Chains A and B, each alone.
Chain A
Amino acid sequence: GENVEQHPSTLSVQEGDSAVIKCTYSDSASNYFPWYKQELGKGPQLIIDIRSNVGEKKDQRIAVTLNKTAKHFSLHITETQPEDSAVYFCAAAQKLVFGQGTRLTINP
Chain B
Amino acid sequence: DAGVIQSPRHEVTEMGQEVTLRCKPISGHNSLFWYRQTMMRGLELLIYFNNNVPIDDSGMPEDRFSAKMPNASFSTLKIQPSEPRDSAVYFCASSPSPGQGGKLFFGSGTQLSVL
Contact = CB atoms under 8 A, between A and B. Distances in A.
Interface of A: 31-32, 34, 36, 41-46, 49, 89, 93-101
B103 A49 contact: yes
A68 B31 CA distance: 27
Contact of B101 (A43, A46, A89, A93): A93
Interface stretch (B12-20, B61-69, B104-112): B104-112
Contact of A34 (B91, B103, B107): B103
Contacts of A36: 104, 106
Contacts of A94: 99-101
Nearest to B111: A41
A2 B88 CA distance: 23
Majority secondary structure, A binding face = loop
Interface of B: 4, 33, 42-43, 45, 56, 91, 93, 99-109
A93 B43 contact: no
Contacts, number: 47
A96 B102 CA distance: 9
B90 to A, nearest CB: 10
Given A43-B91, A43-B93, A44-B106, A95 B100 contact: yes
A92 B43 CA distance: 13
A44 B43 contact: yes
Contacts of B93: 43
5 contacts: A31-B101, A42-B109, A43-B91, A49-B103, A94-B99
Given A42-B108, A45-B106, A96 B42 contact: no
Contacts of A99: 42
